[in-house]
Amino acid sequence: MNHPDDDTLAALALGETADGRTATHVAACPVCSAEVEALRSTLQLARSGAPELIAPPPSVHAAVLAALDDESGNGPADGVPEAGPAAGAAVGDELAHRRARRERRLPLGWIAGAAAAGLVFGAVGTRVLDQDPAPTPTTVLASASLDTLDTGARLGSAEAVRIGPELDLDVRTAGLDPGDGYLEVWLINRDLTRMVSIGVLRPGEGTQRFAVDESLIEEGYVIVDISREGFDDKPEHSGDSVVRGTLAL
Ligand SMILES: [Zn+2]
């Protein structure tokens, strides 16, 4: 049978009775009986109130060394049988015992490995975050000045930009007045009869970016228009354009 686990051996050392098979094994197994004996003497020392630090019993020391051997790959291969032939029974038992100890320690090793992996991932993640993201090539395809329709006052600008594979419209304005409603950005076709909404512009300064399907530009939707829209049920253009401009190279 396999060696009993550490808890069972500790229970035996504490004087508890084991089941028949375990008792028979421990009595016959030099490794297990040595372990129980070592635990027992340790307990006795502890109970005697010895104030000085207690060195681990030799069997514990040996077991630790054996475990280290196993982990460094110098230990027995996994193909070692549980029990050797009669002549090598003690050796086979010892090997099996080492393996049993290694198996019991596996979860701890696994946790340590996972923690180490986590550290590695953490380090990689930090390094990636520390770096500036790789600059995506940005190309300005066309630009427009956004002017009022009545006086031609320039109140903003728009740029069709290609960022990687995407086409966007960057709209920069300075405090357009949405009135009682909101500001909506449109692309109007050159034929001045067709238009599509590409989004809502937040009042305020700075550049806001809108995704644009490149085919719209190719089909002639090159007039950028910002309208003042009411909170009504009318999705179409209100006719109240604040600024307008035509994209050009
Ligand atoms: Zn044993």
Ligand 1 mean position, distance from CA 53 (Å): 28
Q: Which DSSP helix (H) or strand (E) runs through 59? A: helix 58-71
What is the DSSP track for 194-226? -EEEEEEEPSSSEEEEEE--HHHHHTTEEEEEE
pLDDT tens digits for range 224-247: 999 999 999 898 999 999 999 999
Assess whether pLDDT exceeds 60 at residue 22.
yes
Please give the Cα distance from 10 to 35 (Å, whole number).
9
pLDDT score for 97: 64
Q: How far is the CA of 29 from the centre of ligand 1 (A)?
A: 5
Q: Which residue has the higher pLDDT, 151 or 137?
A: 151
Tell me how far apart the alpha carbons of residues 51 and 64 are, in angstroms, rounded to a whole number: 25
Q: Phi and psi dihedrals of 222, rounded to 5?
A: -120, 0
From CA 142, how far away is CA 246, in angstroms rounded? 9
Q: Residue 26 Cα, ligand 1 centroid: separation in angstroms?
A: 6
Q: What is the pLDDT of residues 54-105, one digit of tens each?
A: 555 666 666 666 666 665 554 444 444 444 445 455 555 665 665 555 544 4
* d(CA 188, ligand 1 centre) in Å: 87
Output the pLDDT for position 70: 62
CA 97 to ligand 1 centroid distance, Å: 6
Phi and psi torsions of 91, nearest 5°: -65, -45
d(CA 124, CA 98): 37
Return the minimum-mean-pLDDT range out of 20-24, 34-38, 44-48, 188-192: 44-48
Q: How far is the CA of 32 from the centre of ligand 1 (A)?
A: 4
Give the distance (Å) from ligand 1 centre to CA of residue 45. 24
CA 6 / ligand 1 centre spacing (Å)? 11
Judge contact between 180 and 230, C-beta under 8 A: yes
Q: Is the pLDDT of residue 171 over 80?
A: yes
Q: What is the rounded CA–CA span in Å between residue 88 and residue 102? A: 21
Q: Distance from the CA of 24 to the center of ligand 1, in angstroms?
A: 10
Q: Would you say residue 190 has pLDDT above 70? A: yes
Task: Over range 150-160, report the average pLDDT.
Answer: 95
Q: Which of 230, 107, 219, 209 is nearest to 159 (CA)?
A: 209
Q: How much distance in Å is there from the Cα of 73 to the middle of ligand 1?
A: 22
- Encode pLDDT of 101-141 as tens digits: 554 444 444 444 444 444 444 444 444 455 566 677 889 99
**What's the pLDDT score for residue 174?**
85
Q: How far is the CA of 120 from the centre of ligand 1 (A)?
A: 39
Give Dmax over CA atoms of the chain in angstroms: 109
Of residues 174, 190, 191, 163, the one with CA closest to residue 226: 174
Half-sphere exposure of 105 (CA within 13 A, CB side): 16
Average pLDDT over the chain, rounded to whole? 78
| pLDDT value of residue 247 | 96
d(CA 47, CA 55): 15
Q: Give the pLDDT score at 16.
A: 86
What is the distance in A from the centroid of ligand 1 to the CA of 33? Answer: 7
| Per-residue model confidence (pLDDT) at position 236 | 92
Q: Cα separation of 57 and 37, whole Å?
A: 9
Domains of the chain plus CATH, in order, are 6-129 (no CATH), 138-246 (2.60.40.200)
Q: How far is ligand 1, taken at its centre, from the CA of residue 27, in Å?
A: 9
